[in-house]
Structure 1
Amino acid sequence: MGIVVQDMATSLAFYRRLGFDLPAKADGEPHVEYELAGGLKVAWDTVATVESFTPGYHRPKESGIGLAFECDSPAEVDNSYDTLVAAGAVGERKPWDAFWGMRYASLLDPDGYGIDLFANLSG
C-alpha cells in the first residue's frame, strides 16, 4: 500500500501515534517502508519522489482510499482520536457508538487520507 505525502516527518509522526514503530531517521527519507503482520507493506513516498519517476504527477483530489485501525477497546478509540486531533489531525467524526456494534471515529491524516478507528462495543 503506497501513500504519497507532502511532508514525510509529519506523516510518519501521525502513523507512529497509531502504533507504527518507525525510526526517527526515516523522517528525512524520500521513501519509507513498514511491514505489517502477514507481510503487507505500507510505503510512504514524498511528492518529489513520485514526481521523479512520474513527471506531471498530481494527487487525485479524492482518493477514495481509507485505512481502518482496530483498537483494543472503545476507550482506546476515544483516546486515540483525542490524541491524534490534539496533535493536529482533522477530526471528521468524533467517536460514536455505531449501530453495527462498534465504537467508531473518523479523521484525516496529514495528507487528507481517511482514517477510521474502531473497537467492538461488546467484549
Structure 2
Amino acid sequence: MNYQKDSVTGRLAPTTVQTPNTIGGTAEAPSITYGPGYSFAKEQTGRGFYGLVPEGLLSKMKSFQQPSSIPVHMKGGPVDKALFASTLVLCGVGLAGCFKFFYDMSFPKKAEE
C-alpha cells in the first residue's frame, strides 16, 4: 500500500496507485534494441562446445550412471575401498589426538620445584 502526505492534516494517508490496467490501457512489452554491428553467436554443431568425449571416459561415465546398491564413492573398485578405509583411519587418529589434547589440558602435569 502506498502513502501520501495529506495537505489538510499533515499526516500520511493511504492512496491508490493507478496502473495501466486501472486506467484502461494495457502495459507495453519491453523491446530489446541492439546496437549497430551487433552479431549473435553461431550455434555449435556436433557434440557441444568442448568437442568429442574420449571413449574411455564415456564408458566410465556409463558405469557410474548404472543403478546399483553401491554408493558412488565406492564404485571405483578396490582403490576406492582403500582410500575410504585410509580416510576413516586418519579421522580416527585425529579424533583420538583431539581427545588426548583435551585430557592433557584438563589435567595438567604438576610442575616440579
- Greater fraction of residues in helix: 2
TM-score after normalising by structure 2 = 0.16
Question: If each structure's strand is expressed as a fraction of its own residues, which one has the higher value?
Answer: 1
The structure with more radius of gyration: 2
With normalisation by structure 1, the TM-score equals 0.15
Q: Relative contact order, CA 8 A, sep 6+: which one is greater? A: 1
